[in-house]
Amino acid sequence: MTSSGPDYASYPPTELYDVFFETATMLGGRLNALQDAAEMAHDLDQVQASQAERRRIRDDRDAVGADDRDAQIAAIERWRSRYAELGARTAGQVDD
């Protein structure tokens, strides 16, 4: 682990892909919690924004090849950042 987080470049291919896929799943779950809160608040704009972002994450994940380590690492870092960013907005709504 580096000071900023795991050294994904050293992960075996299968493990890296698992982390890549699970990171997308975790972010999708956090967005789903945000969407649920928006539905409770009748905030249609936020509901639609959450749905659209989840679709983009799915599409981005599906576009990355199982052997494309650089793209997987870039996506993991981007998604982890977004996950943390949403953490404050979903505090109390998502079990971490």
Is pTM, for the whole model, over 0.85?
A: no
Region of residue 5 (phi > 0: left; psi between -120 and 50: alpha; otherwise: beta): left
The pLDDT-based confidence of 38 (bands split at 50, 70, 90) is: very high
pLDDT for residue 56 is more than 50: yes
Residue 6 neighbours by CB under 8 Å, 6+ apart: 19
Domain boundaries, the chain: 12-89
Tokens at 41, concatenated = 């608040």
pLDDT for residue 2 is more than 60: no
- For residue 46, count CB atoms less than 10 angstroms from its CB and return exposed for 0-12, middle for 13-18, buried for 19 or more: middle
Phi, psi of 26 (to 5 degrees): -65, -45
pLDDT for residue 95 is more than 70: no
The pLDDT-based confidence of 90 (bands split at 50, 70, 90) is: low
